[in-house]
Structure 1
Amino acid sequence: MPNKRGHAEDITETYYIGLMSALGNRMKDIEKPQIAIVNSWSDVNPGHKPLGELARYVREGILCSGGNPGEFNVPAPCDGIAQGDGQHYILPQRDLIASSIEAMVKSHGFDGIVMLCSCDKIVPGMLLAAARIDLPTIFLTGGAMLPFVEKGRTYVTSDIKEMIGERNSGKIDEETFERRRSGICVSCGTCSMYGTANTMGTFLEVVGVAPFDSSAMLACSAQKMRQAKDVGERIVDLVKEKKTFKSYVNKESIENGIKYVSATGGSTNAVLHIMALAKALDVEMNLHDFDVCQSSVPVVTKLKPSSQYNLSDYYSAGGVRKVLEIIRQHIDDTRPLVMGGTVRDSLDGFFAENSEVIRLPDSKFYENGCFSILYGNLAPNGAVVKKTGVDPSMYYHKGPAVVFDSEEDVRKYMLESSIEPGSVLVVRYEGPKGGPGMRELSIPAAMLIGMGLEKSVAMITDGRFSGATRGPCVGYITPEAWEGGPIALIEDGDLIEIDLESKRISLLVPSDVLDSRRMNFKRKEKKVSGVMESYRDRVLSADKGALWL
């Protein structure tokens, strides 16, 4: 019985027993550890459909180990489905998910939690909830989607977006486009690329709160079902051992996670979510601290969309533990794991053959991490680009601005106009407040690739990019345009300089001209209502994790 409820003779406890009995619980069930299965199952999101079945196996494990499971659901939006207007509502749901879990778990007095999650905003939302609640907690992700194979080449969902540009530029015909579009998602599971979902899913493993290999293994594998039973059994042990979330996740484990994400060329969205997690845990960390940490490791793997290798290739090559083995000298391998033992224990008993998918340090892809955190008069509080997704010829770029005040405007321009090589496409009023919601500009970014412009045209925004984005795309610029940041002052033709090696982004306009523009600045109004109005009123800037609840 939950030990925080008071004595059995209390009226609150009596009420609790009566209502729990209505659910089919016997007194001996009520006296067991009460385990919340926080499920994000949905049949409107392919990454989350497998979680319905997995929950059954988690439940079996809990019962076998002497616990009493109770399951409830939370929203699970798909970033890929929610394009255009729907994207406004995606990032705000991270905090809604966190808050709904916090409220439900605390109101019902559970003793432990199993978080079932898969996709981009659900994993970080559940992480924030776990940090706030601080109960014994284990995460389990749904597993990966099968890749689509055609003529010996594999395709994953990130390829769809690039195909839009390929079709528009005549690189592929309509029949090929339609065939690949309809067939590219072979099964349910997380998209088989190294986007935000799998970056954050594997981050869970590194910080110690999810079993190793849980993200990269196929959703349809029997091993995933067995793993779910193990998780169900283990959470009851954690409750008995009184090992809470914060027993595993602290500054040291977060730093391990940052180094892992950087070594694997992870999603730029991980920067946003890890900053939010640090704040939820009261861990002091700013964007500069993040940069120092991420730049301390070599990049030893590149996965789709930055290479031809998909998530199943990564799993076969040894996955998370192979990477940790290679960067072992850079991490704290004494950190404990929810499934038992430490990182060191797990690595000592692990072996995977060397392969081209995950490289050794002497053949690394890059020396100093996968991100470039940029500063300058265009981004006084910072901006982020995934350097490992940029062709080296674009590490330095200077060109004239072409300015847009929404994603829709830049999409229309790219489809209908001739883009001048050398230009910098500036997409503003897409920040947390300006959007509102900080949409991902994943389709315009992918269209650049599909149109063959990734070596001549850059794109910058105060919005976000997808974890599946590659190319010279700088996002998360702060302060954002809505707040009167320098990006709001850019005019067509202004020269913009981007230097990834020097970590600088500059607007090459005299300061007196910028001062004059600032005096005449008028915010572009975007009327919103409902949840988005509340979001705009409360949300923090991107460099602070864009938290709002």
Structure 2
Amino acid sequence: MTDSQTPPEPQGDPHLDPPAQEEPQPQLGRVIRTGPRTGPASDRPRRSAAWYDGDDRNTYLHRAWMRRGIPDHAFDGRPQIAIANTASDLAPCNSHLDEVAQSVKNGVYEAGGIPYNLPIISLGETTVRTTAMLWRNMMAMAAEELFRANPVDGLVLLGGCDKTIPALLMAAASVGIPAIVVPGGPMLNGTFQGRPLGCGTDVWRLSEEVRAGQLNADYFVKSESSMIRSRGHCNTMGTASSMACVTEALGMTLPGVAGIPASDSRLLEFSHATGNRIVSMVEEGLAPADILTPAAFHNAIVALAAIGGSTNAVVHLLAIARRVGVDVGLDDFDRIGADVPLLVNLQPAGEHLMEDLFRAGGFLAVMNEVKNLLDPGAITVLGTPFVDELAAHRVWDRDVIRTASEPLQRAAGIAVLRGNLAPTGAIIKPAAASPALLQHRGPAVVFDSVEDMHARIDDPELEVTADSVLVLRGCGPRGYPGMPEVANMPLPTKLLEQGVRDMVRICDGRMSGTAYGTVVLHVTPEAAAGGMLGLVHDGDLIELDVEGRSLTLLVSDEELAGRVPSASLTTAYAAPTRGWEKLYVQHVEQADSGADLDFLTGASGPDVMRESH
């Protein structure tokens, strides 16, 4: 088709156009159920029947203690639904999920099920020390055991802040009973003095300007109360928003829910419909393993690239895949996603925020633009193909959602790097990097810990130039422990004052999905696991070649063979002596395997054979 034949973009007020031109709205009545029903419950055996069916002492105990106002018919075979609720005042992005849970309850009741609120460990990304990632696996393990131990037939998973949705999906995948996710949604756009503020991304930007002497510190502090305008998680395309979209691409949500702002009443409408749908999923026996197939992970990787999503989604998707036995590795992110065009003009890769994406057509409108790249074999929680949901979703603002032929960037998916510095892999997000630095050679400036970096990064005597490569180690899953979001190191003040705003940075840790810069992260093996990163010396030349997918320490093998990790690196890492941290360090896997615990890989299933009474 020539340019002269290209159909014009929709014009005029969409609310005044004829019905065929109206903005498509999710048909919530259609998505409630797809399978047949026979009265209040189908004839399909219930998992909960092992607790409630019969007239012996044990079933008496189970029913009697659960009554508390619940009527007799609650135990007549109706699906028992647990609402895994991560609401917490100390996880502020999830603090509104009690309201969401009530809408889910209403939907479960309406569809003939019996809902139960099940509080789950919650993790506030901005408040939990030492890092929320340390606790993701503990949250997943605790949730899995609670799901398995209780008399429930289906799960509704309520999450929002970064680690909560991944942990819930990992848990549900290992138990294997029907499950569906409701993402908590992003906060509304914040503004300060007439300018939009993206939470996270503008923190990094403004703080560097203060350090450079280009921004008044009072201005920086005053903007704080304007950035977080409403309930909900980060409004940039950070990890929370990325995981909401990726979860929908996996098929684990009702189509159309990802990206609805937390304050939008349509989130409650979808939550009610989700309560309806989980009852039908129980009746149909539609389990996570039926949905989380290789085709679903293919689509999730395409989605991650098209939205310019967080690098953190890589480690979460790897962990989820290993729970359901799907063979997904780092190279699949490069093979499937590297050439996918970036279509979403959102911070940190672009300009807008999540509220704008929803207004412009939403996540499914983005996926409709890259439909030809998707695997049509993937299904959703409706039991129908994911690709069938896309055609009705149009784009209403081409500055926010670009076409595949005129993208924000033509090939912006996650790039996987290998070389002697990262023999089992490292990743970089080209969409958030400076193009001029994607091929770079420079001398290393090495920091052995986060504390070492903070102590020396602004030292006027630090031998560093704009061409230097900043190396931060001791930040991997074992070395920190927990793999913190520190890879996007602040730049030295003396370089900021010279106008430098980006440098190549290399780390065995992670970075916030709201962050940006030419940052190589998730280097494996990490320094604390004997990785080559632990042998880098100040002044060693390092070569980054993103197009060539290589990360190379330009030191001879003979010299490297004689090196040992520095004393300061060794002393910076002290193995924990008790508690969760000790268990974590002993069993955590590397980032290229999802940083899960080695004994949690795979599934234990839903069955609990022994009775406690």
TM-score, with normalisation over the residues of structure 1?
A: 0.94
Are 1:33 and 2:79 counterparts?
yes
Match runs of 1:35-184 below 5 Å: 35-82=81-128, 86-88=129-131, 90-158=132-200, 159-184=202-227
Extract unaligned runs of 5+ from structure 2: 1-45, 601-613
Question: Is the 1:206–1:320 Cα contact (8 Å) retained in structure 2?
Answer: no
Which 10-residue stretch deviates more, 9-18 or 215-224? Answer: 9-18
| Amino acid across the alignment from 1:535 | Y
CA displacement at 1:3 relative to structure 2: 3.2
Distance 2:180 2:104 in 1: 11
Distance 1:450 1:519 in 2: 31
Secondary structure of the structure 2 residue equivalent to 1:224: helix
Distance 1:4 1:169 in 2: 65
CA displacement at 1:7 relative to structure 2: 4.7
Which residue in the other structure is 1:531 paired with?
A: 580
Aligned partner of 1:257 among 297, 300, 315: 300
CA displacement at 1:527 relative to structure 2: 3.9
Distance 2:406 2:412 in 1: 14
Aligned partner of 2:485 among 440, 451, 470: 440
Distance 1:451 1:514 in 2: 36
Q: 1:499 to 1:53 in 2, by over 3 A?
A: same
Which 10-residue stretch deviates more, 441-450 or 327-336? Answer: 441-450
Which residue in the other structure is 2:270 paired with?
A: 227
Alignment length (residue pairs): 544
Which residue in the other structure is 1:497 paired with?
A: 543
Distance 1:47 1:512 in 2: 51
CA displacement at 1:438 relative to structure 2: 0.6
Distance 2:399 2:235 in 1: 18
Aligned partner of 1:284 among 327, 333, 338: 327
Distance 2:348 2:360 in 1: 17
Question: Is the 1:454–1:471 Cα contact (8 Å) retained in structure 2?
Answer: no
Q: 1:481 to 1:233 in 2, by over 3 A?
A: same
Distance 2:398 2:373 in 1: 21
Which 10-residue stretch deviates more, 382-391 or 328-337? Answer: 328-337
Question: Is the 2:293–2:378 Cα contact (8 Å) retained in structure 1?
Answer: no
Residue by residue over 1:383-440, the C-alpha shift from the partner in whole angstroms, topping out at 9 and shown as x without a partner, is: 0111110111111111111111111222333344465211111110111111111111
Which 10-residue stretch deviates more, 203-212 or 62-71? Answer: 203-212
Distance 1:42 1:454 in 2: 40
Secondary structure of the structure 2 residue equivalent to 1:81: coil
| Amino acid across the alignment from 1:92 | L
Secondary structure of the structure 2 residue equivalent to 1:140: strand
Secondary structure of the structure 1 residue equivalent to 2:93: coil
CA displacement at 1:294 relative to structure 2: 1.5
| Amino acid across the alignment from 2:335 | V
Match runs of 1:267-346 below 5 Å: 267-339=310-382, 341-346=384-389
Distance 1:61 1:527 in 2: 48
Question: Is the 2:542–2:553 Cα contact (8 Å) retained in structure 1?
Answer: yes
Which 10-residue stretch deviates more, 396-405 or 363-372? Answer: 363-372
Distance 2:438 2:169 in 1: 34
Q: 1:215 to 1:445 in 2, by over 3 A?
A: farther
Question: Is the 2:294–2:326 Cα contact (8 Å) retained in structure 1?
Answer: yes
Distance 1:473 1:507 in 2: 16
Residue by residue over 1:122-154, the C-alpha shift from the partner in whole angstroms, topping out at 9 and shown as x without a partner, is: 111011011111111110011111121134321
CA displacement at 1:192 relative to structure 2: 0.3
Distance 1:167 1:320 in 2: 35
Question: Is the 2:334–2:413 Cα contact (8 Å) retained in structure 1?
Answer: no
The structure whose residues are more often helix, as a share, is 1
Q: 1:183 to 1:365 in 2, by over 3 A?
A: closer
Distance 2:377 2:566 in 1: 56
Distance 1:345 1:252 in 2: 14
Question: Is the 1:411–1:444 Cα contact (8 Å) retained in structure 2?
Answer: no
Distance 1:493 1:367 in 2: 35
CA displacement at 1:337 relative to structure 2: 2.1
Aligned partner of 2:437 among 394, 412, 436: 394
| Amino acid across the alignment from 1:140 | V
Extract unaligned runs of 5+ from structure 1: none
Q: 1:161 to 1:366 in 2, by over 3 A?
A: closer
| Amino acid across the alignment from 1:348 | A
Q: 1:160 to 1:313 in 2, by over 3 A?
A: same
Match runs of 1:328-477 below 5 Å: 328-339=371-382, 341-353=384-396, 355-417=398-460, 419-441=464-486, 444-445=489-490, 457-477=503-523
| Amino acid across the alignment from 1:100 | A
Distance 2:500 2:308 in 1: 18
| Amino acid across the alignment from 1:321 | L
| Amino acid across the alignment from 1:534 | L
Match runs of 1:2-13 below 5 Å: 2-5=48-51, 7-13=53-59
Q: 1:452 to 1:444 in 2, by over 3 A?
A: farther
Question: Is the 2:468–2:504 Cα contact (8 Å) retained in structure 1?
Answer: yes
Which 10-residue stretch deviates more, 141-150 or 370-379? Answer: 141-150
Q: 1:237 to 1:456 in 2, by over 3 A?
A: closer
Q: 1:258 to 1:222 in 2, by over 3 A?
A: same
Residue by residue over 1:352-406, the C-alpha shift from the partner in whole angstroms, topping out at 9 and shown as x without a partner, is: 3350211112112333342111000100010011111011111111111111111
Question: Is the 2:90–2:127 Cα contact (8 Å) retained in structure 1?
Answer: no
Question: Is the 2:52–2:62 Cα contact (8 Å) retained in structure 1?
Answer: no
Which 10-residue stretch deviates more, 119-128 or 347-356? Answer: 347-356
Which residue in the other structure is 1:248 paired with?
A: 291
Question: Is the 1:421–1:453 Cα contact (8 Å) retained in structure 2?
Answer: no
Q: State the percentage of identical aligned residues.
A: 31
Distance 1:9 1:314 in 2: 55
Question: Is the 1:445–1:471 Cα contact (8 Å) retained in structure 2?
Answer: no
CA displacement at 1:172 relative to structure 2: 0.8
Are 1:547 and 2:596 counterparts?
yes
Are 1:195 and 2:235 counterparts?
no
| Amino acid across the alignment from 1:155 | L
Question: Is the 1:422–1:456 Cα contact (8 Å) retained in structure 2?
Answer: no
Distance 1:509 1:415 in 2: 28
Q: 1:261 to 1:411 in 2, by over 3 A?
A: same
Distance 1:122 1:181 in 2: 25
Secondary structure of the structure 2 residue equivalent to 1:313: helix
Residue by residue over 1:249-299, the C-alpha shift from the partner in whole angstroms, topping out at 9 and shown as x without a partner, is: 111111111111012111111111111111111111221223212124222
Residue by residue over 1:227-262, the C-alpha shift from the partner in whole angstroms, topping out at 9 and shown as x without a partner, is: 111111111111112211222211111111111101
Distance 2:277 2:375 in 1: 24
CA displacement at 1:519 relative to structure 2: 8.9
Which residue in the other structure is 1:215 paired with?
A: 258
Question: Is the 2:502–2:517 Cα contact (8 Å) retained in structure 1?
Answer: no
Secondary structure of the structure 2 residue equivalent to 1:375: strand
Aligned partner of 2:64 among 7, 14, 18: 18
CA displacement at 1:95 relative to structure 2: 1.4
Secondary structure of the structure 2 residue equivalent to 1:477: coil
Residue by residue over 1:484-515, the C-alpha shift from the partner in whole angstroms, topping out at 9 and shown as x without a partner, is: 11100011111111111111111111111101
| Amino acid across the alignment from 1:243 | L
Aligned partner of 2:561 among 492, 515, 535: 515
Question: Is the 1:212–1:320 Cα contact (8 Å) retained in structure 2?
Answer: no
Question: Is the 1:484–1:523 Cα contact (8 Å) retained in structure 2?
Answer: no
Distance 1:420 1:95 in 2: 39
Which residue in the other structure is 2:532 paired with?
A: 486
Secondary structure of the structure 1 residue equivalent to 2:134: helix
Question: Is the 2:344–2:401 Cα contact (8 Å) retained in structure 1?
Answer: yes
